[in-house]
Amino acid sequence: MTKTAETVLEIDLNALQHNFEYIKSKLKANTKTLAVVKAYGYGSDACVIAKHLEKLNVDYFAVAYVDEGVALREAGVKTPILVLHPQIVHFNLLIEHCLEPNLYSERVLKAFIDLTESENQKEYPIHLKFNTGLNRLGFKIEDVDTIDDYLKKTKSIKIASIFSHLVASEDLNEREFSENQINSFNKIIDKFKSKLNYQPIYHMANTSGILNYPNAHFDMVRIGISLYGFGNDQKYTEQLRNVASLKSIISQIYTINKGESVGYNRGFTADKKIITATIPIGHADGIHRSFGKGKGYVTINGSKAPIVGNVCMDMVMVDVTDINCKEGDEVIVFNNQQTIIDLASAIDTIPYEIITAISQRIKRIVK
């Protein structure tokens, strides 16, 4: 494989397809799939990811905000797109691009009905979010009658799906809480079934819900982090493949003598002669400052090189004293799940934050 000559994020579509097919193997044949491609496809490239998944016949996409959905439409994505947290000010843009809103409160429901009626829309697809314990967004079961009253008074909208969100599906110590959530969602479904003369899609399971709670699959599942290589449990992550690999190069090699310091605020002072390599990637690219002073590392020619001193905006310096390397050599920031897990653990965070933090100024290469 050709080695990089600049800082790049490589996106492996074969790995993406493997992950999608692995998750699908856990589902019943008639269970629909919703692929979550928010946050630039978890830090990769939402349009590239979505267009490939569209070829694999995914049923729905989900994004967080309207502008993310607009970008997919402008890239040619035709599959239905659920916008998980639309703002009222963007409802016109949402309709213009045939995006489907999650309506999670009476305020946003009324606002969307008012707009769709003013534009003479007929049965515009909406999604209703219910809170069963996350306490973040969503209607409560007591709101079903109010929602039904609104629906009876308008033909401008139609429910495409009703959904909720598991709180701790990856933590089997919280199984009782998760089962209570599932039971609560079933009660919401029962209430709607007694009121609607059609059946919307019901969905609740995220990646860990798919893997740990088959009784939460309902009509559709939402595939998020597992698309990108993580199962929130080592036994599942081992069955998945890493999708994004972050690479760079050595710009310059320095000899640092005893007593000399490296980087801003003299974040490192050498107690002996060492060799450092400067890499053109920094906290503006997603390498958090918390990785400084040896907490983070890169890999050069198969060996770990710890970060020396503070992470700069556009550069890091690493210790290559015991590594046989030269200027222009390839540097691996991460290219497998374990490295991402290790880096996350080093600064007490989760793999989500490591991969979604990668700056959009870094060149993307599709493999």
| Measured distance between the N- and C-terminal CA atoms of the chain, rounded to whole angstroms | 11
38 catalytically annotated: yes
150 catalytically annotated: no
Which helix or strand (DSSP H or E) is residue 22 part of? helix 13-24
The token duo for 136 is 């973040």
Q: Pick the closest to residue 23 from 179, 230, 161, 171 (CA basis).
A: 230
194 CB-contact burial (10 Å; exposed 0-12 / middle 13-18 / buried 19+): exposed
Helix 13-24 with 46-55: angle, nearest 10 deg = 50
Of 3, 258, 264, 367, which one is the catalytic site residue?
264
152 CB-contact burial (10 Å; exposed 0-12 / middle 13-18 / buried 19+): exposed
Question: CA-based angle 236:239:245, to the nearest 5?
Answer: 105
Contact 245, 288 (CB under 8 A): no
Distance CA 278, CA 179 (A): 51
Listed in sequence order, the residues at least 6 apart from 135 whose beta carbon sits closer than 8 Å to its beta carbon are none
Contact 127, 103 (CB under 8 A): yes
Sign of the Cα torsion 177, 32, 68, 48 reads: positive
Pairing of strands 297-300, 124-129: unpaired
Of 38, 202, 236, 297, which one is the catalytic site residue?
38
User: Catalytic residue numbers?
Assistant: 38, 264
